[in-house]
Structure 1
C-alpha cells in the first residue's frame, strides 16, 4: 500500500464522537481511506491478531465437526433442515470468537494496543453477541425459505438469498461493535447499526469489493499473504466503526447516545 503523508487523516484515528452525525448520515466514509488505514494498522498488532484468528479458525473447525455429527448430511438423500441447523449452530457458536478478533480490530482502529484482555472483554458481552448473531441468522433464513417457497429452487431464488444475506451482513455490521465498545442494549445496537449502515451501504459495499480483491491477490502466492490480509479484514470493521461512530466524549455519554429520538 502507498504511504500517506505524516499528518494525513488516513494515518490517524478518529478521536471525536461521530455517533449522532453517523445516525444522520453526515459522518464521512471513503473507500480509499478505510483500506489504507486498515492496512497501516495491521502490522502493529499482528502477533496478537494472529493469535485471535488462530483461535477463531480452530473453534470454527471444532464447532463444524460437532454440527456435522449432530446433524449429519446423507449424500444420497440430504436433509435441507440438517444443513440449516449445521449452518446456524456454526454461526452462533463461533460468534463469540469472531467478537474477540472484532474487538481487537476496534482497538487497533483507535490506536489502542489490543491484548489478551480482549478475550475477557468480548466474552463479557457473550449474551448480546449470541443474541445479535441469532437474530440476524434467523431473519436471513426465514427470508431464504420464503424466497425458495415462492420461486422454487432456481437462479432467481438463489440470487435473492445471496443479495439478502449480503445486505443483512452489512446492515448488522456495527451492531456487535456497538455492544462491545459502547455497551448498547441489543435492540438499540441493531437499530443504530441499521440506521448508520443504510446511509453508507454503497460505500461499504465498495470497501468490501476492494477488500475481496486484496484478499484474493494475497492468496495467490501459496496463501502466505492471508497472514496479513485476514487480520486486516477485521481491522476494516474497526476502521469503518471508528470513522463513522468515533469515540465517546465521556463515560456518561455511553448511556446517553444514541437518544430515543434518534433511534
Structure 2
C-alpha cells in the first residue's frame, strides 16, 4: 500500500539548490534554517523597486474579489453589500454565495502569495500574477476546504492542535501552484517540513503580525512598507524551505 502522506518521488529531487535555496527533499528533512531577523532584513531590502508590484497585486485582488462578490450576489440573491438584510435570506443562498466567493478567490490568494515568492527568488513578476493560477482552482479549493476543516477540528481539541496546524499548513498553497502537488500532498508536505522548525516559524508569523500592527498604528501610512515586507518575507521563507519552482530546478 502506498504512503498517501509522502510527496511524489519525482518532485522530491526537483529544485535542489545550493546556498539559500531549499527543495522538497530538504524541506521534508528539515534541512533549512529560519532566522527571523535575517528573513525580515532580506525582505526589507528586496521591497525596493517592488512595492508597486505588490500593491498592484493587492489592488487587482481587491477589484476581482469585489466583482466576484457582486456577481455571486446576483446569482444567489445574497445581499453581500447590505449585511443588514442577510437575516432575510435562506441558508442555501448564504452557503452558495460563500462557496462561490471562496472558490473563485482561491487562485487569487495563490497569486498574491506567489508575488512574494517570485520576488524572493529574483524572478520576473508583475501584479497580474494574481490571475495566473485559475488552472489550479480545483486543487486550491479542495486544499482550502481540507485545511479549514482540520484547523477547526484542531481548535475543538483543546485549541493547541488548531494553532499547530495553522502554522504547519502555512506553505501549502504555493506548493500546489509552484510544485504541482495535490491538495493533501501539499498540506502534508507543508506540515512535515514546518514541524521540523515549528517554533521559529511561529515566531516569524508573530513578528509579521506585529509589523502589520505597527504599520497600521502609523496612521496606516506604515502599511505602504509593512505589507510588501511581509509578502516578500513569506516568499523568502518558502524559498529557504522549498526552493525554486520546477522550471528553475
TM over 0.5, yes or no? yes
Question: Match of 1:52?
Answer: 57
Question: Match of 2:167?
Answer: 170
After superposition, residues 184-199 of structure 1 pair within 5 angstroms as: 184-199=181-196
Question: Match of 1:206?
Answer: 203
1:96-150 superposed Cα distances (whole Å, 9 cap, x missing partner): 2111111111101111131256245322322222221121123334555xx3xxx
Residues 1:70 and 2:70 aligned together:
no
Work out whether residues 18 and 27 of structure 1, in 8 Å CA contact, stay in contact via their aligned partners in 2: no
Question: Match of 1:234?
Answer: 231
Distance in 2 of aligned mates of 1:184 and 1:14:
24
Work out whether residues 57 and 126 of structure 2, in 8 Å CA contact, stay in contact via their aligned partners in 1: no
Work out whether residues 118 and 125 of structure 2, in 8 Å CA contact, stay in contact via their aligned partners in 1: yes
Work out whether residues 107 and 133 of structure 2, in 8 Å CA contact, stay in contact via their aligned partners in 1: yes
TM-score (structure 2 length as normaliser):
0.74
Task: State which of 24, 27, 34 in structure 2 corresponds to 1:22.
Answer: 27
SS at match of 1:95: helix
**For the structure 1 residues 208 and 69, does the alpha-carbon distance in structure 2 shift closer, same or farther, using more than 3 Å as the test?**
farther
Residues 1:113 and 2:124 aligned together:
yes
**For the structure 1 residues 92 and 141, does the alpha-carbon distance in structure 2 shift closer, same or farther, using more than 3 Å as the test?**
farther
Aligned-residue Cα RMSD (Å) equals 3.6
Distance in 1 of aligned mates of 2:196 and 2:88:
41
Distance in 2 of aligned mates of 1:78 and 1:203:
46
Distance in 2 of aligned mates of 1:193 and 1:246:
13
1:7-43 superposed Cα distances (whole Å, 9 cap, x missing partner): xxxxxx9564433222111211111111111222123
Distance in 1 of aligned mates of 2:102 and 2:138:
14
Task: State which of 31, 35, 45 in structure 1 corresponds to 2:36.
Answer: 31
User: In terms of mean alpha carbon deviation, does 14-23 or 108-117 score higher?
Assistant: 14-23
User: In terms of mean alpha carbon deviation, does 89-98 or 32-41 score higher?
Assistant: 89-98
TM-score (structure 1 length as normaliser):
0.70
1:200-228 superposed Cα distances (whole Å, 9 cap, x missing partner): 22111111211222211111222011122
Question: Match of 1:124?
Answer: 135
User: In terms of mean alpha carbon deviation, does 116-125 or 220-229 score higher?
Assistant: 116-125
SS at match of 2:181: coil
**For the structure 1 residues 32 and 88, does the alpha-carbon distance in structure 2 shift closer, same or farther, using more than 3 Å as the test?**
farther
Distance in 2 of aligned mates of 1:116 and 1:207:
25
